[in-house]
Every structure is written in C-alpha cells, then in structure tokens.
C-alpha cells in the first residue's frame, strides 16, 4: 500500500521543511546561557533554614545564634554530657572514635588513639616515619604506606617541612575533636528525608580522624571514610590525592573557616511520582555549552554524577567527575561518613561546602592546581557558601548490555531520579547546571540522558545549563534538537512517549539515534494529528534521519 508516496517521500522540500529548515529563535543559545547564569546569580534557596529547624528531621551540631564571621560557632551542647555518644544505637548515629563505647577486645580504643595523636602533637612531626608510627597505632590494620612515602620523596626540603607541619596540625584537630563535636551525630539513613548541619570546624575534625583512620571499619551500606587507601603505593593516584587533601588541611589550619555545611537526604514518595506520559508542560529554558564547567556555575544547583555510595572512589583510585568535585571541596567527603547508600528515589544535597583547590586533567591525568577565588564566594545568612550540590546516582549499563537503558523501566528510573534531584523546596528555583550524567564509565547514552534531564528540569520548574565537557559537536546537536522541539511546541509528555518508543525502533535500525527518533516521532506521531502512526513507524524504522546534514531522501515503496 502506498501513502501518497511521491508527494510525501520523494519531495525533498517537504522533508527538509519539517526536519532541517533553520528556525529563528527568540533567544540564541548564548543569550539563553547568559539569561540562565544571570538567574543563578540572583536566586538562592536557603534550605535547610537553620532558624526554623524541624525536630527529628533537621539536626544542627552547633549553636546557630553563635554564628559569626570571624570565628567558628560554639558546639551544641558546649560540653559533652553523653560520653557514649550513641555509639551502637539502633537509631543510627556516627560511631565517633572518642566514644566511651568504642571498645575492642576489652580495650577502650580511644585511649590508644588519643595517646598516639597527642605524642605527635607534642613531639612534632620531625619526619614522615613519626607520622607513620602514629598511623600504625591509630589503625594497626593498615598494610602499606608506600604511597605516602612516595609522595614525600617527591617534595623539596621546604615542601616536606610544610607537609609534616600540616600532618602534626591534623593530629591536633583530631585531638580537639571531642571538644568540638559534643553530641551524637545522626546518620542520614535510606528512605528518610532529613538533614545534618555541621560547622566547617566540625567537618575538619571529622576529616582529621579520617586522615588518621580512627573510624571503625566502615558500616555496611556506607562508603569508606578512612584514608588508608591513599597511603597505599598500589593506588596510582595517591600522590595527587594527598596533594588535594593536605592543601585543604593547610588552609583550615592557617585560618579556620567560620561557616557551616548542610547535608540533606531527599526522598521522593512513590505517590508523588509524576505521570510522565500525561505531562503537558513545555520544554524548560535550556542552554548548551562546550566550554565552562558545572562547578563554575555560581547560583545554580550543581549536579554531582554520583555513585550510589556518595563520594564514589574519592578515597580510593577514582578520579572522574564526582571524585574530582570532592577533592576540590573536601568537606563534601563528610557525606561518606553520614550517608547511607542511595535508593532509586532519593538523592543527597550538600549545601555550603567550600572550594579549596582547582585542577586540570581528568582520570589518570588529574593534577592539583591552586584556586584563585578562595574565600571570595558569597555566603548566606548562616555562613554557608552559596553553593548547592545534588548527588544523584545513575544506573550502570555494562558493555554488552547498554541497550537495556532504552527500556521503559530504566528510562523511568533515571527520570524519577533526576526529578527528585531537581525538585525545589521553593518557587522560583535556581537553574540546574549539569552535563553527561551517567555517561562515560556508566555507559549512558548522552542523547538519552540529556533529554531525561531536560524533562525532569521542566517538571521541577528549573532552567538548565548543560555542559558537554569540550564536545563542540554535541553542543551543536543538542542545541539544534532543543530549538526544533521548542519550535514545534513539544511537551514533556510527547518527548517521554518518544523516548519509551525508541527501544523497539532501535532494534529495527541500530543506526538510529535517540535525537533522530525523538524529533521524527514528535513531529509525525504526536504533534501532527493528520499523520498516521503507520507513517511514524515507517519513518523511524526505515530512514536514517540526520538532524545535522542536509541530504536527499530516496525511499522504496511502502510494503
């Protein structure tokens, strides 16, 4: 049967006008980018609001009224009254090393730890071997210090002296921790929306104990927090990671920051999941950039391409987007201690973590660099840096199984994850800064993931700036598709239907890309009621529609 074959399919002008003709947009991509970043500069969600904390939901470890610009706030309570610190409470609290319940084989572990740390503080770190002796007393289970020794061997005499002074200072932070954190710190357990706010000084004390590996072996369902792996010579990135971490400690020892950091788990109730197929919302305002980066987008909700165990391999051998972000903002590592593994309908927000370093390279080429704008970032009324990160884990699609990402259940999983990540607490939410979430080692399709995040941003009421990480061609492709969807007034529901129909069409035509399919499907299947489904199926099954090339289309007869 023919469906007006010569008219529809042999006419280059019709196909070109539908698929390829340039459209004059109200705003160019660059204008949209400036508009979005300007919105980011002028909006900030103050949440959690430390003046209105909800009991049993929001925990703050210091006296909010004592916040000042020139010194850290006072702990709450001022003196510890519960020396057990809920060490083994079934309710779930951090196992603080100085708890009187930290007992192993009948011995109070902190007596040993405290003695070793105080010796290093009083005697000074005159050589790296003295630091290693302390580490062995605090954590006798550590097998290798070759990475730490190798790092020190690469330093000049002056740099070595500075590094040893910093390590002695870290020991002093660890000794003082019990006077700075004076109450049990609740964990952010799965399936419960709650928050923990700590002063930056309290974060530094927790990090100091992580450096000396004094925490009990990690709990099931939590990431590691002890830094033993980066002391190990088998870790190819131990030298560079030590550079980031020691620089952080050097900065806080030089002048202790006076602000605070909030960690918040957000859970989407199952009855709040949108009916994506019925969503009539239009596409959000989107800009695509091949230059710039997520962390350099002030005022935006910044996406962390997270592992389900937040922090991923930051204290192991990982060095991709999440790990790099945690290395330049080490206070984020405290989340490894606080946060249980994420479920499919939950994310973790980190508000106010300060940036101490910059970097260049990626993965095995990662190198430390100084951060020129340190201490210049604006703060909110509670002393938090005006920076909010959302950690959201994408699903892993291993080689050989990557086509599984096109299944409806996996699209829904990623869409709902992005939605809960972008969901604001207030109206007029700030824009979201994101990129190739779940791609790279996680095997995600950039075209699919970009559209999933676009739909989630639309439903959450946020504008979006998408960084392609120097991929100019993808910037062009994504921008072209976005502008065509805008021109055709595509809705969230229409694009969603196109995405879930892609799997079947991709099986028929493996050369077909997500962008090609979505645009053809939206145009012929859902926005133009005069075109039959049969036409849509034929187009997406038998044509390789290029969004970027202007070519003739010659087709055989329909069967």
pLDDT tens-digit map of 349-386: 999 999 999 999 999 999 999 999 898 899 999 999 99
Q: Where are the alpha helices (DSSP H) in 304-407?
A: 321-328, 334-338
Query: Of residues 216 and 293, which shows the higher confidence score?
Result: 293
Residue 304 bears catalytic tag:
yes
pLDDT tens-digit map of 149-184: 999 999 999 999 999 999 999 999 999 999 999 999
- Beta-ladder partners of 393: 306
Query: Of residues 3 and 49, which shows the higher confidence score?
Result: 49
Q: 326 is written with which tokens?
A: 């945690």
Coil/strand/helix, residue 462 = coil
Q: What is the 3 state secondary structure string of 144-172? A: CCHHHHHHHHCCCHHHHHHHHHHHHHHHH
Catalytic residue among 266, 323, 388, 414: 323
307 appears as a binding residue in the annotation: yes
Q: 487 is written with which tokens?
A: 């021109």
Give residue 550's pLDDT: 38
pTM summary value: 0.91
DSSP secondary structure letter of residue 429: P
pLDDT tens-digit map of 8-50: 333 333 444 444 444 556 799 999 999 999 988 777 777 899 9
Question: Could you tell me what percent of the chain has a pLDDT over 90?
Answer: 81
Q: For tokens 């910059």, what's the residue?
A: 358
Question: Could you tell me what percent of the chain has a pLDDT over 70?
Answer: 89
482 appears as a binding residue in the annotation: no
Q: In what order do the strands lie in the sheet with 464-467?
A: 58-60, 194-199, 260-267, 346-351, 388-393, 301-306, 432-434, 464-467, 286-289
Query: Of residues 524 and 7, which shows the higher confidence score?
Result: 524
Catalytic residue among 201, 266, 295, 322: 322
81 Cβ neighbours under 8 A, 6+ residues apart: 182
Closest Cα to residue 396, out of 305, 503, 498?
Answer: 305
Residue 232 bears catalytic tag:
no
- Beta-ladder partners of 75: 62
- Residue 322: CB atoms within 10 A of its CB come to 23
Radius of gyration of the chain, Cα coordinates, nearest whole angstrom = 26
Catalytic residue among 232, 266, 304, 388: 304
200 appears as a binding residue in the annotation: no
Give residue 43's pLDDT: 73
């Amino acid at each position: 049967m023919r469906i007006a074959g010569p008219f529809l399919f042999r006419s280059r002008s019709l196909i070109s006008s539908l698929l390829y003709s340039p459209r004059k947009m109200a705003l160019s991509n660059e204008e949209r980018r400036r508009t979005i970043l300007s919105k980011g500069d002028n909006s900030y969600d103050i949440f959690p609001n430390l003046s209105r904390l909800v009991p049993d939901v929001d925990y703050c470890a210091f006296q909010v009224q004592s916040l000042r610009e020139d010194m850290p706030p006072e702990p709450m309570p001022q003196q510890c009254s519960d020396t057990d610190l809920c060490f083994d409470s079934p309710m779930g609290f951090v196992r603080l090393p100085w708890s009187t319940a930290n007992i192993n084989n009948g011995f109070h572990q902190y007596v040993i730890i405290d003695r070793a740390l105080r010796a290093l503080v009083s005697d000074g770190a005159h050589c790296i071997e003295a630091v290693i002796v302390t580490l062995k007393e605090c954590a006798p289970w550590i097998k290798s210090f070759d990475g730490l020794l190798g790092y020190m061997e690469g330093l000049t005499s002056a740099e070595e002296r500075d590094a040893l002074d910093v390590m002695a200072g870290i020991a002093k932070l660890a000794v003082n921790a019990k006077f700075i954190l004076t109450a049990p710190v609740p964990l952010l357990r799965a399936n419960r929306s709650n928050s923990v706010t700590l002063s930056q000084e309290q974060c530094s004390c927790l990090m100091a104990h992580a450096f000396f590996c004094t925490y009990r072996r990690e709990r099931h369902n939590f990431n590691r927090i002890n830094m033993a792996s980066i002391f190990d010579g088998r870790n190819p990135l131990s030298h560079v990671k030590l550079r980031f971490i020691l620089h952080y400690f050097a900065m806080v020892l030089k002048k202790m920051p006076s602000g605070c950091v909030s960690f918040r788990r957000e859970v989407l109730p199952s009855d709040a999941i949108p009916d994506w197929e019925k969503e009539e919302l239009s596409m959000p305002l989107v800009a695509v950039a091949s230059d710039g980066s997520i962390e350099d987008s002030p005022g935006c909700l910044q996406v962390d391409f997270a592992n389900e165990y937040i922090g991923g391999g930051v204290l192991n051998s990982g060095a991709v987007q999440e790990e790099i972000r945690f290395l330049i903002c080490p206070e984020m590592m405290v989340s490894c201690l606080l946060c249980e593994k994420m479920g499919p309908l939950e994310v973790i927000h980190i508000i106010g973590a300060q940036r101490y370093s910059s970097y260049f390279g990626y993965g095995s080429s990662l190198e430390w660099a100084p951060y020129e704008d340190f201490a210049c970032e604006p703060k909110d009324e509670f002393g938090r840096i005006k920076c909010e990160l959302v950690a959201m884990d994408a699903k892993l699609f291993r080689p050989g199984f990557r086509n599984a990402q096109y299944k409806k259940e996996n699209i829904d999983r990623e869409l709902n994850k992005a939605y809960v990540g972008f969901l604001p607490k207030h109206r007029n939410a700030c824009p979201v800064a994101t990129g190739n979430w779940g791609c790279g080692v996680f095997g995600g399709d950039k075209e699919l993931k970009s559209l999933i995040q676009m739909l989630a941003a639309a439903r959450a009421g946020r504008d979006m700036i998408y960084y392609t990480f120097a991929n100019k061609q993808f910037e062009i492709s994504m921008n072209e598709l976005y502008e065509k969807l805008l021109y055709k007034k595509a809705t969230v529901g229409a694009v969603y239907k196109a995405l879930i129909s892609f799997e079947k069409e991709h099986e028929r035509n493996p050369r077909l890309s997500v962008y090609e399919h979505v645009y053809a499907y939206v145009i012929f299947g859902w926005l133009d009621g005069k075109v039959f489904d049969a036409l849509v199926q034929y187009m997406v099954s038998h044509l390789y529609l290029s969004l970027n090339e202007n070519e003739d289309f010659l087709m055989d007869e329909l069967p």
